[in-house]
Chain A
Amino acid sequence: MIFPMQRREVIAVVASTAALALLAGLPLADDGFWLALAISIASYVAMATAWALFSGPTNYVSLATAAFFGSGAYVVSALAETAPWPVVLVAAALVGALLALATGLATLRLSGVYFVIFSFGLAELIRQLVTYYQTQVTGSVGRYIFVTISASEIYWQLLGLCAIALFTGWAIQRSRLGFALRVIGDDETVAAHSGIDTARVKVLLFCISGALIALVGAVMAPRFTYIEPQIAYNPMVSFQVVIMALLGGSKRLWGPLVGVIPFVLLHEWIAGRFPNHTHLLLGMVFLLVVYFVPQGVSGWLEKAWRRIRGESA
């Protein structure tokens, strides 16, 4: 790294490496329900962190997550039986980045609600294009993915993606790019006047974020066995990622992490106990969260941490 690391950062790196090693051992303890739950959590941590890489500092709320996720899954359906797995992953990341590049160039000059609406439309547009291609060219919408990748292997790959997403976020934060992003997030006009090429910075970030989400889609695809556009481009993915990231707090790199874990556990707990009223209860919990923890879990944790230190000091 260009800058020497501070002591706090060294501790953070050592601690997260240890945590990662510990988490990687999970499939040895249980390869059933808990592993399935861990796969859910890891996939959403990776996606929400990647989402927050772009949307956190720039304040551009993107609902295009499903577009990247689905495209990654489709790359697998097209290549998995002919190409080696690492090649498939690289292709998925490239497709995600190119998709972000094309849409970013066209739209990142939009701001606020216009961008939100466009990004939501993007997932739908891609889904229709894939459907059109499949109906007109291949003559079948559904695709079978018969690759033998175990649940444990999917989980390890997702853990790797989480680590990459967090590391990328950390590296960006301490680079010139990160500084430029923070200026854009605070005031885009000021950023432009200070000589920052705002469009370029935003597009670059969007590409990194899109590539990571496409990778999550690719890694998750073998778990579905069968995909069709409705399954791959599920808009719920976009919404859940935003909700989880905002619940955690998108201003901190580790914010999405502390949002995803309680969200998935709570969702699972409510779904198990009250299968007929899941959404009703979840909605009520959200209302309470927004009311009592408006700054997100990360903000709340930081406040609590400061209070503890303040009292003990």
Chain B
Amino acid sequence: MRKNLIGTLAVSAALMAAGFVHAQEIKSIKIGTAAAKTGPGAGGAGVTHWPNVKLWVAQVNKGGGILLKSAGNKRVPVELIEYDDRSSNDDAVKAIERLATQDKADFIIAPWGTGANLATAPVFAKYGYPQIAVTSVTDKGPELAKRWPNSFWLLGGGQHMAGSLVDLLKKMNAEGKIGKKVAMVHVADGYGLDMVAGARPALKAAGFDVVYDKSYPLGTQDLSPIVNEIKGLGPDAFIAFSYPPDTFGFTEQSKIAGFNPKVFYVGVGGAFPVYRNKFTAATIEGVMGTGGWDVASPKIQDYIKAHKEANNGGEPDAWASSVQYAALEMLQQAIERVGSLDRAAVTKELGSGEFDTVIGKLKLKGNVRENPWAVGQWQGGSFYGLAPTNLPGAHAPVLKPAWK
């Protein structure tokens, strides 16, 4: 009996010691990330990727870390391992391999950009890491998710975004706010082509009269001939699927030419705070752009405040920034629900669970975020989400007033 007791004590002491040692083992959760810090992608990654990663790590660690049941139900701080992929996809692949096999990261944040996400997807799949891709606009989300079941695609594609824009125009037309004449221009590059491919059939189906539909090469400096020609056609709606430099250019030229259609829509960059800061809130009143969020929600307001504090006053953009942050929140919640660093279980939870994030309740379907924001509008210096019109917090559009 006594012998038995001692034996039991010894066994339980050993078990406790093992548990103790195990709990002590996890001093930090290693989160890896590789995105552009230099090269052509550095500007974009510097807006949507790095500031949000930085903010998230700071926020999580301020709260003590990520709660892990496997670590004795304690909060474990996050340790960030970061690399520069130099805007090269070969380097991105190398960096993810390095994070997975050399640094033995517990989780890896998806890289910035469509190309880098697709190039590294096989590596994420090979080592069984979940890949929550945000900054890659692709219509192939469902197909990619089938190919790599550990990948998640959060920003939507051109089909959906252009379709939402046309739905909004249709609604405004039905309400008698605008006529049927649309002028459309797009940059001859990935984003412009995807968007126009979605917009053309949707405009046709909705019975719009497209009076102008042309492209311009990437990097076109002088946009005044396009603006002047379109002004002469007198459209009700002007749609430019443009990149940031051209978004600024179209705005500038239209103001100079006094081209003031009822709907003035610009592409990437229209939702950037720097766009408002350059032209002033009064000038861009009523301008629509790609992106959107429920800016009035307390969560987004808190997020904007925290983002500014963590990034020397830098404001997040109103399109991908909050989604990137939400992706990181998803990861944290999935890890906490699973209660350990079991990547397969976390991946499963990401695909099936519902998450409470800055952009609201988020539940993926077939690893893709359904119905993301597509169109927003500057109203009183803030960028409000307009379409899809059935999203919570969607604002009603206003007709563009004269340029100020």
- Residues of chain A touching chain B, judged by Cβ–Cβ distance below 8 Å, are 30, 32-33, 35-37, 40, 43, 128, 131-132, 135, 139-142, 144, 146, 220, 223-228, 230-231, 234, 236, 268, 271-272, 275-276, 278-279
B197 / chain A contacts, CB cutoff of 8 Å: 139-140
Cβ-defined contact, B88 with A33, below 8 A: no
Selected contact of B190 from candidates A35, A142, A272, CB within 8 Å: A142
Q: Which residues of A contact B37 (CB under 8 A)?
A: 275-276, 278
| Chain B count of residues within 8 A CB distance of the other chain | 38
A146: contacting residue among B95, B147, B188, CB under 8 A: B147
* Contact present for B188 and A268 (CB under 8 Å): no
Identify the B interface with A (CB < 8 A). 37-40, 82-84, 86, 88-91, 93-95, 97-98, 100-102, 114-115, 118-119, 121-122, 127, 140, 147, 188-190, 193-194, 197, 215, 217-218
Contacts of A272 in B (CB 8 A): 83, 98
- By secondary structure, the B interface counts as helix
> Chain A interface secondary structure, helix, strand, loop or mixed?
helix
9 A-B residue contacts at CB 8 Å?
A32-B97, A33-B100, A35-B97, A128-B217, A142-B190, A231-B115, A236-B39, A275-B83, A278-B37
Query: Which chain B positions have C-beta within 8 A of A236?
Result: 39, 86, 88
B108: shortest Cβ distance to chain A, in Å? 13
Instruction: Decide: B39 and A226 in contact? CB cutoff 8 A.
Output: no
Instruction: Say whether B188 contacts A135, CB under 8 Å.
Output: yes
Return the contact of B115 from the options A32, A40, A226 (Cβ within 8 A). Answer: A226
Which of A43, A128, A275 counts the most chain B CB atoms within 10 A? A275
A230 to B147, CA, bound (A): 25
Distance (whole angstroms) from the CB of A312 to the closest CB of chain B: 41
Q: Of B100, B119, B193, which contacts A223 at CB under 8 A?
A: B119
**Chain A residues in 8 Å Cβ range of B95:** 271
Q: Which residues of A contact B118 (CB under 8 A)?
A: 144, 224-226
Structural contact, B84 and A271, CB atoms closer than 8 A = yes
With A135-B193, A141-B193 in contact, do A224 and B82 touch (Cβ < 8 Å)? no
B115–A141 touching, CB < 8 Å: no
The answer on a CB contact under 8 Å between A36 and B94 is yes
Q: Which residues of A contact B97 (CB under 8 A)?
A: 32-33, 35-36
- A276 pairs with B84, CB closer than 8 A: yes
